[in-house]
Amino acid sequence: MPHEPFTLGSFEVVPLCDGWAPLPLDDEAPGHDVDWGEHRSRFPWAFPPDDAKSWAWHVHAFLIRHPDGPVLVDTGIGGLGRPPFDVAGRLEDELAAIEVSPDSVQHVILTHLHGDHAGGACAGDGSPLFPNARYHVHPEDWTFFATHRTPKDFTGRFAMAGLEGLGMLDLDPTDHEVMPGLSLRHAPGHTPGHRVVQLEQADATLLLVGDLLHTTPQVVHPTWRSNHDEDPELAAEHRALWIDAADREGWTVCVGHFGRPFGHVAAAGWSPI
């Protein structure tokens, strides 16, 4: 467990690390010239050493400890990992390292159904890996990924078919609280049903942004299109909206694909904790 947990009142958010892979910088920020060297010197953890052409795509899920029971936000890649990516479905080991039993997880929140977020929701035979949990998925993602295929079927939807018949799926389309202080908010574009998770305690807020962000330049330029988004226009609109709100309100932000997941956003860029 390479990352420190973040505590917000009665919530403790523990990053679970599924690994990382180098992804080509050329695919990021289409149509824009980015001074990647500047980002590399400010955020060395965001880039692989000795590789000037890539950034370090980290894959994290988050275990939220709470007196009412553990909540898991995203599930890593599960059995969908493939070489050469060093991302291999380590969630079970990561949970064991912090002494959380999969049986004890009360809620599994899937920000969306791309494979690096939902791949670890179920075993290869479709049986749930968190047998006592309620799985929260926005219905627009459930519908979209029933027919939409990504290259090599890199979606978690196919690994989760068994959940529907078991009655373990919560497809509530509304923005709502899963438990007091923990709410789901629709932030579409990356995928149609993409959600962010908002934790609120007293006057402090932590926003888990799902895949609103992949690279540090997006913090300064949230309206830029990204090749990672299913609907780039809509995604940019919602990225800008949430980044702006987090900046204005001083919220702490949690980014699954950053090597330093917790930080603050501002006009000057990402400021990791």
Residues that bind Zn ion (CB under 5 A): 114, 116, 211
Q: What span, in angstroms and rounded, lies between the C-alpha atoms of 17 and 13?
A: 13
**Minimum CB separation from Zn ion for residue 167, in Å?**
27
**Minimum CB separation from Zn ion for residue 215, in Å?**
12
- Smaller CB distance to Zn ion: residue 141 or 211? 211
- Smaller CB distance to Zn ion: residue 107 or 214? 214
Q: What are the beta bridge partners of residue 151?
A: none
**Minimum CB separation from Zn ion for residue 112, in Å?**
6
**Minimum CB separation from Zn ion for residue 29, in Å?**
17
Q: What span, in angstroms and rounded, lies between the C-alpha atoms of 172 and 137?
A: 8
Q: What angle do CA 264, 92, 188 make, to 5 degrees?
A: 45
Q: What span, in angstroms and rounded, lies between the C-alpha atoms of 16 and 73?
A: 10
Per DSSP, the three-state class of 22 is strand
**Minimum CB separation from Zn ion for residue 116, in Å?**
4
CB within 8 A of 218, min separation 6: which ones?
Answer: 29, 224, 226, 239
Residue type, 56: A
**Minimum CB separation from Zn ion for residue 228, in Å?**
6
| Two structure tokens written together for 258 | 């950053």
Q: What span, in angstroms and rounded, lies between the C-alpha atoms of 255 and 242?
A: 13
Residue type, 108: V
Contact between 119 and 156 (Cβ < 8 Å)? yes
**Minimum CB separation from Zn ion for residue 3, in Å?**
17
- Smaller CB distance to Zn ion: residue 107 or 228? 228
- Smaller CB distance to Zn ion: residue 77 or 178? 77
CB within 8 A of 268, min separation 6: which ones?
Answer: 220
- Smaller CB distance to Zn ion: residue 111 or 205? 111
| Two structure tokens written together for 36 | 């990647």
**Minimum CB separation from Zn ion for residue 202, in Å?**
31
- Smaller CB distance to Zn ion: residue 36 or 57? 57
- Smaller CB distance to Zn ion: residue 159 or 200? 159
Q: Taking the chain, what is the end-to-end CA distance rounded to the nearest angstrom? A: 17
Residue nearest to Zn ion (CB): 114
Q: What span, in angstroms and rounded, lies between the C-alpha atoms of 60 and 261?
A: 8
- Smaller CB distance to Zn ion: residue 200 or 222? 222
